[in-house]
Structure formats: structure tokens, C-alpha cells
Structure 1
């Protein structure tokens, strides 16, 4: 018997990162995630890419990672600045864990349009 897709449009819908299956995050929820990244001592980094290349290309870094940043408003302002500069791009926030040398958190804040 062939496989039948019982998940609706799951296979045709592009999902991004950890929160990709949830409704878009509110501004307060994004701030909570930024606060969590900072509270963990992780380094916030912002990346962007055009939606056509999001699954098969490296994402471009917006400035350098914000080493030692403890100001939530500064990170949020840079997310907005990246989105204004590239309104048609996906913009994601990544929390780099210096101790384990990996990403502790990563999620798309703004989704671009194709």
C-alpha cells in the first residue's frame, strides 16, 4: 500500500526553525526570547536571506554577533534595522553558546515574501 499523506499541507508548507509550526510570535514573545538568550549568557546574532535561498544557502550575517550584549532594546532595534534594510528577506535571531560552541537558540523573527 502506498504512503498516504495524512498531514494536510505539511509537505508543501515551508517551515523555518523551532517555532516554524506555531503562529507568528508577538513582539512581547520575541522580547521574551531575546531576554532568554541574554540571560543564558549567549551571544545574539542576526542573519538574513531571501526566501528563495533559505534552505540551500548560508544565511548572511547582519553585522557581527553582539558579543557581551545585555541590552534587550539594542538587539530588538538591530532586528528592526535588518528588516527595514531587507524587507523581502527572512530575518532570524540566533543565540550562540560560547561554552558549547553551538547555537543555543535560533528562530525566524520576520518572514520575507517570495
Structure 2
């Protein structure tokens, strides 16, 4: 199963040239970049681990790519995403987010449906790795 979260999630994985172009777009719009990683990509898990601090003052995509390479070296078997933050409304809000690294084998979610009285149905699921 392929985890589909953020921009470009239904497209094939972006290569480093395409990631660099997206980072350049974000920087051209004045957005700050943050890199996050997790081993648990469940949609309700909105708090991924931060890789370093958000790069508010960075204006060069090469710096972001260097940080991404460091994160991949340390956490290459996990999900890694890039977030672009905008502060135009006085708070940091995410304008763009996309996954840039996936583990070799992604988890699958098994859905179990149970029928009850009066056609009621209950669902349960578990994550299988």
C-alpha cells in the first residue's frame, strides 16, 4: 500500500532534481522550509519528528538538499517530508507538504468488518508491516 499524504502523493516519487525545483518554488514565494520524519505515517499522526530547526532564513535550495541528505542518512528507512511554511497571516501555516523519502516496504492496513444485529456493521483495523 502506498501512503498518499501531501502534494504529489498520487504521482511517482520525485527525484532530487524535482525536489530541488519544488524547494526553489517555495523559497521564491518566501516560505520557510522544514524537514520531518516518522516511522508511523498514519493520517492522524500529524506530529512527525523535526529534523533540525525550520529554515526560516535560508534562501538557497542547496542548503535544504544538504539537510535532506543528512536526514536520509540518519533515517533513510522512514518517511521524510518537506513542509513549506508561510507567515503572512501572523502565524506559521503549512502552504505545501510532500513526501520525499519512503521505506523500502510500506505498511499495509487490514480492515475487518463485523456484521451485527439490524444490519449494523463495525469496523476495526490494524497496521501490518
Query: What range describes the TM-score normalised by the shorter chain of this pair?
Result: 0.7 to 0.9
Distance 2:99 2:2 in 1: 15
Which piece of structure 1 moves more, 39-48 or 19-28?
19-28
Give the structure-2-normalised TM-score. 0.73
Give the CA RMSD over aligned residues: 1.4
Larger % of strand: which? 2
Q: Which residue of 2 aligns with 1:63?
A: 52
Distance 1:16 1:88 in 2: 17
**Aligned partners of 2:83 and 2:94 also within 8 Å:** yes
Instruction: Confirm or deny that 1:54 pairs with 2:41.
Output: yes
Distance 2:36 2:3 in 1: 18
Counterparts in 2 of 1:13 and 1:79: CA distance versus 1, 3 Å: closer
**Aligned partners of 2:6 and 2:96 also within 8 Å:** no
**Aligned partners of 2:34 and 2:50 also within 8 Å:** yes
Shift of 1:102: 1.1
Tell me, which stretches of 5 or more residues in structure 2 are unaligned? Answer: 107-129
Deviations 1:16-45 (A, max 9, x none): 222110011122111110001100100000
Deviant stretches of 4+, over 6 Å: none
Higher-Rg structure is: 2
Tell me, which stretches of 5 or more residues in structure 1 are unaligned? Answer: 1-11
Q: How many residues align?
A: 101
Give the structure-1-normalised TM-score. 0.82
Shift of 1:99: 1.0
Q: Which residue of 2 aligns with 1:19?
A: 8
